[in-house]
């Protein structure tokens, strides 16, 4: 029993436990809800999980470095509305995506620059910057966004789509490839090693020739970029612009990262763990909705999960305090 507890306390143990919980939830849903494991239902679960996985990339990176990014839902809404508006005005969609991506990188870089450069907690900075972005979008659209996504983007995320013999849309295998690349980057590249080193011991990192300000700017820029990608994908998924489309992802991205075994104090976590957390949250959402729970009850349940997980994982001492 002690050995099992010790294993579950490790990052790999938490990741494995999260995958097992996701599988258990799916089996419960299959038992209680007719059609829960039908091909269409599984495709829907995979698509919803893939969208959350994209939105959670940045949260994973910022939590590992010892920060947090509350601007993600606002950047998602910004990308969703701006892409729809410009495409609706006749812009080439590739040009639209390039512009949205560059603006998102600037927004994220600003988050990292202010947080680290001025030593202001990123929770305050990212929330403030996110609200500024949302306000500017509202002023630009006068509160009534319009436009839609190109058919190719809608087909890319459509639940009814397929990739050759695979009965899933292109979004699902694309996210699988993205996951492998991110795991590789975090494990095998200088950026990944510096990210963990800075999150583990911010004071000692400069002694290892790691530039904290540069790392924070790059990491938050990447976070905003992936949030913008999620916003464009959600435009294809919903079919129309909606400024608040990212709001459900405010705490879901945090919960996915924590469920996957990341420490909110920084220095520990993995994107594979986040994927496990994403599957757990998607299964919980689907199961509760399938059982007839109202959206408010589903939101309350997710809030309870976050509180419980943060109380378990968020109180851990920073790695530098254990050395």
Any idea how long the chain is? 323
pLDDT band, residue 270 (cuts 50/70/90): very high
Task: Read off the pLDDT of residues 49-87 as tens digits, 9 standing for 90 and up.
Answer: 999 999 999 999 999 999 999 999 999 999 999 999 999
* DSSP bridge partners of 166: 163
Alpha-carbon separation of residue 145 from 88, 183, 225, 304, 317 (angstroms): 10, 36, 21, 33, 45
- Domain-embedded: residue 1: no
Assign residue 49 the CATH number of its domain.
Answer: 1.10.3470
Task: Read off the pLDDT of residues 112-130 as tens digits, 9 standing for 90 and up.
Answer: 999 999 999 999 999 999 9
Residue 45 has pLDDT above 90, yes or no: yes
Return d(Cα 306, Cα 124) in angstroms, integer: 19
| Interval 14-31 mean pLDDT | 90
| Interval 92-112 mean pLDDT | 97
Query: What is the structure's pLDDT at 10?
Result: 60
CB neighbour list of residue 10: distance below 8 Å, 6 or more residues apart: none
Return d(Cα 96, Cα 88) in angstroms, integer: 10
Share of the chain above pLDDT 70, in %: 92
- Domain-embedded: residue 8: no
- Domain-embedded: residue 11: no
| Interval 215-227 mean pLDDT | 97
Q: Which domain holds residue 67?
A: 18-310
Q: Based on the structure, what is the number of domains in the chain?
A: 1
Share of the chain above pLDDT 90, in %: 63
- Domain-embedded: residue 316: no
Task: Read off the pLDDT of residues 156-193 as tens digits, 9 standing for 90 and up.
Answer: 999 887 777 778 899 999 999 999 999 999 999 999 99
- Domain-embedded: residue 323: no
Query: What is the structure's pLDDT at 6?
Result: 52
- Domain-embedded: residue 202: yes
Residue 11 has pLDDT above 70, yes or no: no
Residue 8 has pLDDT above 90, yes or no: no
Better-predicted residue by pLDDT, 192 or 299: 192
CB neighbour list of residue 50: distance below 8 Å, 6 or more residues apart: 171, 172, 174, 175
Mean pLDDT of the chain: 88
Better-predicted residue by pLDDT, 48 or 251: 48
Q: What is the 3-state secondary structure (H, E, C) of the chain?
A: CHHHHHHHHCHHHHHHHHHHHHHHHHHHHHHHCCCCCCHHHHHHHHHHHHHHHHHCHHHHHHHHCCCCCCCHHHHHHHHHHHHHHHHHCCCCHHHHHHHHHHHHHHHHHHHHHHHHHCCCCHHHHHHHHHHHHHHHHHHHHCCCCCCCCCHHHHHHHCCCCCECCECCCCHHHHHHHHHHHHHHHHHHCHHHHHHHHHHHCCCCHHHHCCCHHHHHHHHHHHHHHHHHHHHHHHHHHHCCCCCCCCCCHHHHHHHHHHHCCCCCCCCCCCHHHHHHHHHHHHHHHHHHHHCCCCHHHHHHHHHHHHHHHHHHHCCCCCHHHHC
- Domain-embedded: residue 320: no
CB-count exposure of residue 211 (10 Å: 0-12, 13-18, 19+): middle
* DSSP bridge partners of 163: 166
194, 90 contact by CB (below 8 A): no
Residue 264 has pLDDT above 70, yes or no: yes
- Domain-embedded: residue 322: no
| Interval 103-109 mean pLDDT | 97
Query: What is the structure's pLDDT at 4?
Result: 43
Query: What is the structure's pLDDT at 65?
Result: 95
């Amino acid at each position: 029993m002690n050995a099992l507890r010790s294993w579950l306390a490790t990052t790999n143990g938490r990741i494995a436990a999260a995958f097992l919980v996701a599988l258990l939830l799916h089996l419960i849903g299959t038992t209680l809800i007719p059609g829960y494991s039908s091909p269409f239902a599984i495709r829907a679960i995979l698509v919803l999980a893939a969208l959350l996985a994209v939105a959670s990339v940045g949260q994973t990176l910022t939590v590992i470095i010892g920060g947090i990014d509350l601007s993600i839902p606002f950047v998602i809404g910004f990308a969703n509305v701006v892409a729809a508006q410009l495409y609706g005005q006749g812009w080439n969609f590739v040009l639209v995506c390039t512009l949205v991506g560059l603006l998102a990188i600037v927004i994220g870089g600003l988050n990292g620059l202010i947080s680290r450069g001025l030593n202001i907690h990123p929770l305050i900075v990212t929330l403030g910057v996110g609200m500024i972005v949302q306000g500017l979008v509202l002023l630009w659209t006068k509160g009534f966004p319009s436009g839609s996504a190109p058919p190719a983007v809608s087909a890319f995320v459509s639940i009814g789509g397929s990739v050759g013999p695979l009965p899933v849309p292109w979004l699902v295998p694309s996210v699988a490839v993205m996951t492998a690349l991110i795991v590789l980057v975090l494990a095998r590249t200088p950026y990944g090693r510096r990210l963990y080193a800075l999150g583990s011991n911010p004071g000692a990192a400069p002694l290892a020739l790691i530039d904290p300000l540069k790392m924070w700017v790059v990491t938050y820029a990447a976070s905003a970029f992936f949030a913008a990608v999620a916003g464009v994908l959600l435009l294809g998924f919903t079919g129309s612009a909606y400024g608040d489309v990212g709001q459900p992802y405010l705490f879901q991205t945090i919960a996915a990262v924590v469920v996957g075994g990341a420490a909110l104090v920084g220095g520990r976590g993995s994107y594979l763990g986040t994927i496990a957390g994403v599957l757990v949250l998607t299964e919980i959402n689907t199961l509760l909705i399938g059982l007839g729970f109202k959206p408010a009850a589903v939101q309350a349940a997710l809030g309870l999960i976050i509180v419980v997980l943060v109380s378990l994982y968020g109180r851990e001492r920073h790695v530098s305090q254990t050395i």
